[in-house]
Chains A and B, each alone.
Chain A
């Protein structure tokens, strides 16, 4: 049963939901067809191919946070696919077939590359370097297999365009426009929101259950296809394909266009590509020797003084990224989690974790009963966070077993644990800073899955259980749904993350110092929330805490860790009165 209660005021959106700037951009391009002579139309038609290349990079870099120095590889591959098809396939359909191949081949290559790079522990920086090395390799390969690719001289496209310059220009604008709007749709969709979440905090996204490697690969495939389309356009306009279309120089220029234009704005990078090439072309006639110098200086100035790019300056403070979304929160009854199936909500059996020769955890066995609130205490470095890391698959255990509600956890992927119903809150509140609070909640609610329709649509309603809504109300978050999470005070951030964790409706929650930095009354409120959680929802909780008073108030049971071992276990009275624990915390009286 759902109650359609709008809990937020009718939103005052900062940006309209219709893509005004993008429409204006296309309109200007179309208008140029009437205003400008054939020579420039011909030139701009080619530059639109380069603008698509810039778009492809902005999609994965501006929105998903993946810097790729290899976009030109997909661009050139698109062109080569077209050219080689036209040469080797004797049919009037050859250009069409070539164009299709020119989209599919780069997409396939991006897929393989995505598998290679994203399904590993390679960080973003190294991923960028790998793409750089690969683009150098690609150029070498093209030169090497000159029998196939025409080598250094490239291939001349045999098929001439049956269009007039104006017609071809409008066709290019149409292709560019369609692709631009596809991109806008994609980044404005639920999937786009997940991509931006990955960009903000990939780890958090995984802990919400999203398999970020697949998301990134999908984005990469789309980006590769778009770059391929750009390569086709450019090859058609220039009449040839050359290794310079596939190499590091063009890849690096693309990064420059996107950075100068403005990452994460789509129109910015496209404009960056268009205007840079146009000015380069016009200036090189008059400043024959010095235009490169001017370009270098301009790049430095932009990086230092307008790091968000020039288009972002134009837009002002708003519009840095895709329209922040806002919508309605609806209350509904919570699902009743069933932990009673297998007895224990969570169990670790003899878990050990070594970092090199350092033993962070030694033979730790704990058991969490359903609807129990278990506190983990111990001095700093005892291994509490490490234990939680192991349980949530943030790090791989060296030995032992982890069983979550009867499921043997044997995975290095945190999203699998999250989808099994074990949610985690981090010590330093991990939320998505540049997304709105509404977005944060929607992501938490997404269940880690993206359905096909979510690639083009974004939900504007989030159903939350009543207890989560109550928590959000406590933190005053319902009034600020449209604000970016970065605007929140420390306490409110903690509440938001807790709300997100609970929105996942997990059967077990792992909390790492949820009250850190909170004032006394806030602590009390959180304490009540947690107790009510176990009592009313049957959620099991593992809580890492230092505040002994807080622990006394909320815990059903306490486990004490020291130097990676369990040294005490029992009720609150038993443990807090124990000699051993006092020694650990306060030291021995000599």
Chain B
């Protein structure tokens, strides 16, 4: 049972981080290598909020808000010059990631900081102790993903988004303000990263260099899952998360990482349009 929970937790974590990346990549063709840094900013938001207000839960609002503000500035200054140019965005956001990291280090210092667990302790789940907070994370992540899916499927905003993913030029001629859509997308995708960071902060610690390890795996999930499909993302996160978790449990953790990479490479090679095939 605990293996299932662990695998589920791992998969959901991947999914949560990947969703923001996928939204930005799918809609704008922008590869945001600074995604991990936005996650880190969200975690710092949680740190500040918890320290100043004494309670953690508002961080789930303030963290993403802080990141949204930063993303707005970044979009205005940098990103809008680079749309639909995946290569330039890779390079520019790599530079951006370095800049954000160094600025944070200068402001906050390199030390590891603690965000206390708001609901410490564990609960017995079918005989085994499982952390309360992790259960909360699982529940919240599922809620967020479902919410996004519903939003995408039923709302006008979602319709606009899907249109822009499929054919930006055509959407433009229909009167959709593409620039606004891009701006909103970048902010939303980054805010989601910030939310992930805030949500994760109590499970470990906050420091300027925490971003990069999250990005590579999330990126692989996005590519394996196919762009523009939440179902694809969910499948990819489940697949990769379960493989990594299971190998880690029954073999070694390094085997888990290697397994994830090999699986991702094979999937990309043989199913280049992602797990959920779209007609060519």
Indicate whether B87 reaches chain A with its CB closer than 8 angstroms.
Answer: yes
Is A427 in contact with chain B by the CB < 8 A criterion? no
Contact residue among A117, A133, A144, A292 (Cβ-Cβ distance under 8 Å from B98): A292
Of A143, A252, A300, chain B has the most CB atoms within 10 Å of the CB of A300
Max chain B Cβ within 10 angstroms of own Cβ: one of A132, A289, A355: A132
A442 to chain B, nearest CB (A): 28
Q: Which residue of chain B lies nearest to A259 when distances are taken between CB atoms in the complex? A: B91
22 chain-A/chain-B pairs, Cβ below 8 angstroms: A67-B87, A122-B272, A129-B219, A129-B220, A132-B216, A133-B261, A140-B257, A140-B261, A143-B254, A252-B94, A255-B91, A256-B91, A256-B94, A289-B105, A292-B98, A299-B94, A300-B95, A300-B96, A304-B92, A307-B88, A355-B280, A356-B279
Q: Are A296 and B97 in contact (CB under 8 A)?
A: yes
Stretch at the interface among B50-58, B117-125, B166-174, B262-270: B262-270
Q: Which residues from 140 to 157 on chain A have a C-beta closer than 8 Å to any C-beta of chain B?
A: 140-141, 143-144
Q: A126-B272, A140-B258, A304-B78 are in contact. List 19 more A-B contacts (CB 8 A).
A: A120-B269, A126-B223, A129-B219, A129-B220, A133-B264, A133-B265, A133-B268, A137-B258, A137-B262, A137-B265, A140-B257, A144-B258, A255-B90, A293-B106, A296-B102, A299-B95, A299-B98, A300-B99, A304-B92
Which B residues are in CB contact (< 8 Å) with A248?
A: 216
A297–B81 Cα distance when bound, in Å, is 16
Residues of A in contact (CB 8 Å), total 41
Q: How far is it, in angstroms, between the C-alpha of A454 and the C-alpha of B198 when the chains are bound?
A: 59
The distance from the CB of B270 to the nearest CB of chain A, in whole angstroms, is 8
B269 touches A296 (CB 8 A): no
A134 within 8 A of B: yes
For residue A279, CB closer than 8 A to chain B, the reply is no
Asked if A585 is at the interface (CB within 8 A of a chain B CB), the reply is: no
**Footprint of B on A, CB under 8 Å?**
67, 116-117, 120-123, 125-126, 129-130, 132-134, 136-137, 140-141, 143-144, 248, 252, 255-256, 259, 289-290, 292-293, 295-300, 303-304, 307, 355-356, 358
How close is B186's CB to chain A, nearest CB, in angstroms? Answer: 16
The answer for the CA separation of A120 and B88 in the assembled complex, in Å, is 25
**Given A140-B258, A289-B106, A304-B92: A134 touches B265 (CB 8 Å cut-off):** yes
Contact B272 A120 (CB under 8 A): yes
Q: Is the CB of B136 closer than 8 A to any CB of chain A? A: no
Which of A130, A298, A303 is most buried by chain B, counting CB atoms within 10 A of its CB? A303
Interface status of B86 (Cβ within 8 A of chain A) = yes
Footprint of A on B, CB under 8 Å? 78, 81-82, 86-88, 90-92, 94-99, 102-103, 105-106, 216, 219-220, 223, 254, 257-258, 261-262, 264-265, 268-270, 272, 279-280
Q: Which residue of A lies closest to B89 (CB)?
A: A303
Q: How far is the CA of A67 from the CA of B87 in the complex (A)?
A: 9
Chain A minimum-CB-distance residue to B220: A133
Q: Give Cα distance in the complex from A116 to B258, angstroms.
A: 18
